[in-house]
Amino acid sequence: MSERIVIEIDDSQLDQALAKLNVISITGQRVTGSRNLSTSLPTINRELRLILGRIPGMRAAMGLIFRLRRIERGVAKGGMELGLTTVASLVLIVQFLWQAYQRIEKRQRAFESLARRERGISKSEYKSLRTEWQAYLRDLPG
């Protein structure tokens, strides 16, 4: 089953995003005292990444740092680099959403399998019961 994902970006939304990035840049400059956030963000070499990767939650934190550095580089250079950063970020977001969708689908299939096995019904019976239940829920007030 193939799904189409359409991403529409309004110019005003892009302008708002750029304004937010500008505010973040100014705030980061005030906090760190450095105009270039990549020099103030902690650097993580391979050895440190291997050590920190064993601590729960640190992989996600390191991922956020790498994403912030990529966005900061794109904003600092502007032009083509900003475009590539935006595209790379969109690809990562779409990939995350697709994986979340697949997890939801897998959980739904597991639930259907469990419900069918416990009730001892076939797939077509399960679908008809689900349709009846959805119609019942639709008719409830509120």
Residues 6+ apart with CB under 8 A from 25: 37, 72, 75
Per-residue pLDDT tens digits for 81-132: 777 878 888 888 888 899 999 999 999 999 999 988 998 999 899 889 889 9
How much is the mean pLDDT over the chain? 79
pTM score over 0.75: no
79 versus 115: the higher-pLDDT residue is 115
